[in-house]
Amino acid sequence: MIVTASRNTHLPEEVIASLLGIQDLALGRHPARETENGPQAEFWLQHYWRAFVLVPGECQASLSVVTSAKPWQPRTDPNRGRKQVLKSLLRGSLKVEPPVPTWRKAILALEGEPVVIDFPFDPVPATLRHADLFETYEFNTEAGVTYGFEFKTWNLASSFSFANPKLPWLRNLTNALVRVADTVAMITGDRSVGRFVARWKQQIV
C-alpha cells in the first residue's frame, strides 16, 4: 500500500486499520471474524496515538502506535450499586487486574510504503502522564521541527501541535517519539527511515 499523506496531517485511521488487518480503530471489543487471510481472533483495542513530524528539508513522517490489551478495564463500573459490589465481593472479582498487552504495533510512513512492526514497549504514554498543559513559566519555542499529536483512550481523546519545544514535558514527548522511530529503523533496517531519524535528531535544539 503506497501512502502519500498531506502536509501537517496524520495518517488516516482507516489506513492504519487496513495496515493492521482490522476493521477500524474503535476502542473496546472487536469480535472474532473471518478475513481474506483466515479467521481473526477476538481482541480488545485499548488505546492508540498518531503523530506527524515535519523536519525542514525532509518529507513528513507519520508515526502511530496501536495497543491491544486485556482484561478490558471499563467492564468494572465505578458507580456500581451495593448489590453489585456485594456480588463482586462474594465472587472475589472486586479487584481490578492490571491490563496486559496482547499485541502492540508501530506504523511509520514516509513517502511510499508504510512500515509496520511488532513493538515491544511504547515510551510515549508515560510522558503524557505528567503533561503540564498550563505551564507556570514561559519557555521559548525554537524554529525547526513541527509536530502534530493525537491520542485516544477509553476516557479521553485529544490532539495538539507544537514546534521544537523547550518545555520539559514536550521535550520528553519529543524524545519518546524519536525512540519509537529509532526502534522502527533498527528493527526493519530501513535506510530511508534511518536517514530521516538522523536528520530529525540533528534538528532537535
Domain ranges (residues) in the chain: 13-203
Least confident segment among 27-36, 44-53, 78-87, 169-178: 78-87
The confidence score (pLDDT) of residue 94 equals 52
The confidence score (pLDDT) of residue 58 equals 83
d(CA 92, CA 166) in angstroms, rounded, equals 48
Q: Which residue, chain included where needed, has cell 509496520?
A: 116
Q: Which residue, chain included where needed, has cell 530521516?
A: 196
The confidence score (pLDDT) of residue 10 equals 79
Would you say 53 and 161 are in contact if contact means Cβ atoms under 8 Å apart? no
pLDDT greater than 90 at residue 65: yes
Would you say 63 and 52 are in contact if contact means Cβ atoms under 8 Å apart? yes
Q: How many CB atoms are closer than 10 A to CB 111?
A: 13
Please name the residue ranges forming H helices in 3-43: 13-20
Would you say 155 and 147 are in contact if contact means Cβ atoms under 8 Å apart? no
Would you say 94 and 71 are in contact if contact means Cβ atoms under 8 Å apart? no
Least confident segment among 53-57, 140-144, 175-179, 196-200: 140-144
The confidence score (pLDDT) of residue 11 equals 86
Least confident segment among 112-116, 155-159, 160-164: 112-116
Res. 2 pLDDT band, cuts 50 70 90: very low
Average pLDDT, the chain: 83
